[in-house]
Amino acid sequence: MSGLKQGGRADSGACLGAALSTIGELVGDRLSRAEAVRLQHASQLTWMASQPPDAVAFVETTDEVAAIMRICAHHRIPVIPFGAGTSFEGHVNAPYGGLSIDLSRMHSILSVNAEDMDCTIQPGVTRLALNEHLRDTGLFFPIDPGADASLGGMAATRASGTNAVRYGTMKDNVLAMTVVLPSGETVSTGSRARKSSAGYDLTRVFVGSEGTLGIITEMVLRLAPIPEAIVGGICPFPDVRSACDAVIATIQSAIPVARIEFLDELTVHAVNAHSGLDLAETPLLLLEFHGTAASVAEQSQRFGELAEAFGGGPFIWSEKPEERSRLWKARHEAYWACLALRPGARPIPTDVCVPISRLADCVEATKSEIADLGLVAPVVGHVGDGNFHVQPLVDMDNPDEIETVRGFVARLAERAITMGGTCSGEHGIGQEKRRYLEREHGRAALSLMRSIKAAIDPHNLMNPGKMLEPEE
């Protein structure tokens, strides 16, 4: 297996200058080298240092992206795709400089095919904008990572979120893409057919490729019917294990739960303060059921019985949209709510996923280490998938603490992998998690990934320094 070339980088200022000058002729004042713009396009939601690109191009069409890519390929300039900048793993940083391609102006919804329950969009459309647009069609796009991320970015990181237990992840909901390759060629990865056995699954090659294989410039997304009735509810549990056992029993009982989210007592405490709620400050499950009125009532009742059998409850649920919204808004604001637990500290959200039978073991061991280390680190989880996040609040002026938290995150990744899981359920690898990839996949699989990268991007121009590339 061939290795990966080390960091495609702009070898000389001359090359970069020539490339940017040609690109400037193409896009005019939509190319910016202003420092504020460059800084805004570096990663800011992580503990990695911001590494701004040399310039930012605000692109508007696939053809324009292809033309820019050809110029960058000619001059060997690194290219970093940028959606909404909501990545937690440093995906938009430019460790070797180069050009950030900002796709946020490509935000058109090109078509909605209600009969086929799909839509064709540009990658800069955000999930909230899409759902707002779809409101009157009876359809919605179910993938909900919390942040109002761009859908192109969500595809690039194989995002998921609270609805994945019922509706799957981006892997399951992108039917096809248009992608500009590192060569500047444009490919279409599939059709609008719901399924196909015609050739390699190029769509799934690009979903989760973190901008390292090409630039997504158009997507066909699968939509879901807006449920006739929705019930949301809250159920406290005495401890993590009983909550996890109730989750396993729920899923095994074929209750088609749409969302089943875990909040630990510290998160509940923060959410109560932030959102003016008075939830019991114990491990909680937040749930949502989708279906007909009769079916969501039946699902809720059955879940309540199961929860009780595992020592949980009472399960309090409601069909009222305003109560549900309040609850889910609180869940989505947990990230911000938790900031108040340690003012001035930076949150470092991390993300693992394990087989659900190991979830309680993994969360318990992790919380025990949090206590031992004296960290302030709330835990939330998309527990129907075995996926959870720990969000240590770190004093970034304290190098010892940073080292401690790094060690904690490394042991968490190791724990998840040892339990048959993964070091990233939905945030991706980016920069910081590269160190766990060989441990998770083994040398042969990592080498295979690098062969695919080298075949598609032989000069390592696309988002260099991310995912597969060894750490510096």
Q: Interface residues for a copy of itself in 261-320 (CB under 8 A)?
A: 290-292, 294-295, 298
Query: Element (H or E) spanning 188, and its range?
Result: strand 186-188
Please report, as residue ranges, which positions from 194 to 223 form the binding site for a copy of itself (by CB under 8 A). Answer: 194-202, 204-205, 207-209
Could you say whether residue 7 binds a copy of itself (CB under 8 A)?
no
Read out DSSP for 253-315?
TT--EEEEEEE-HHHHHHHHHHHT----SS-EEEEEEEE-HHHHHHHHHHHHHHHHHTT----
Could you say whether residue 356 binds a copy of itself (CB under 8 A)?
yes
Angle of CA points 421, 422, 425, to nearest 5°: 115
Could you say whether residue 228 binds a copy of itself (CB under 8 A)?
yes
Could you say whether residue 76 binds a copy of itself (CB under 8 A)?
no
Encoded one letter per residue, x for contact with a copy of itself by CB under 8 A and - for no contact, window 84-113 reads -----------------------------x
CB 138 → a copy of itself: shortest distance, Å? 7
Instruction: Find out whether 241 and 367 touch, Cβ atoms under 8 Å.
Output: no
Could you say whether residue 160 binds a copy of itself (CB under 8 A)?
yes
Q: Could you say which of 378, 386, 464, 465 contacts a copy of itself (CB under 8 A)? A: 386
Instruction: Find out whether 404 and 395 touch, Cβ atoms under 8 Å.
Output: no
Nearer to a copy of itself, 52 or 421 (CB): 421
CB 275 → a copy of itself: shortest distance, Å? 28
Please report, as residue ranges, which positions from 403 to 432 form the binding site for a copy of itself (by CB under 8 A). Answer: 416-417, 420-429
Tokens of 334: 């947990």
Could you say whether residue 148 binds a copy of itself (CB under 8 A)?
no
Could you say whether residue 117 binds a copy of itself (CB under 8 A)?
yes
Residues paired with residue 99 on neighbouring β-strands, in sequence order: 55, 79
Q: How far apart are CA 163 and CA 323, in angstroms?
A: 18
Q: Could you say which of 26, 37, 251, 373 contacts a copy of itself (CB under 8 A)? A: 251
CB 157 → a copy of itself: shortest distance, Å? 6
Nearer to a copy of itself, 32 or 209 (CB): 209
Closest listed residue to residue 160, CA positions, set 144, 175, 148: 144
SS3 77: coil
Residue 106 φ/ψ, nearest 5 degrees: -90, 75
